Amino acid sequence: MGNAVFFSVYEYVRYYMHSHVKAASSNHSNLIDMGVGILTGGVALWLAIFPLDIAKTTIQTAPDESSSKNPFRVLSSVLVLL
């Protein structure tokens, strides 16, 4: 599931950035392509994978067996603590 989320976010952000950057500048297109790829990979990782990884780790290290196993509920409780 993590790979599907990662690549979905990656492709969407990459397409969005290419459509805006390519219209603004046609010089250095290879450099722009590489920069967009690196930036969108980082954005996809931070936005898609890390929250799911935090939920997974919190569920795995919970001291109680009665703790919630729902990743969205765990994430909402983690965000409240921040």
Confidence check: pLDDT of 28 > 70 = no
pTM of the entire predicted model: 0.53
Q: Is a pLDDT exceeding 80 seen at residue 54?
A: yes
Which residue range(s) make up the domain with 19?
2-81
Among candidate residues 49, 43, 46, the one with its CA nearest the CA of residue 12: 43
Neighbours of 71 (CB within 10 A): 15
Name the H helices within the chain. 2-24, 29-44, 50-60, 71-81
- Region 15-41: what's the mean pLDDT? 72
Confidence of residue 13 (pLDDT cuts 50, 70, 90): confident
Tell me the mean pLDDT in the region 20-48: 72
Domain count, the chain: 1
Give the mean model confidence (pLDDT) for residues 48-65.
86
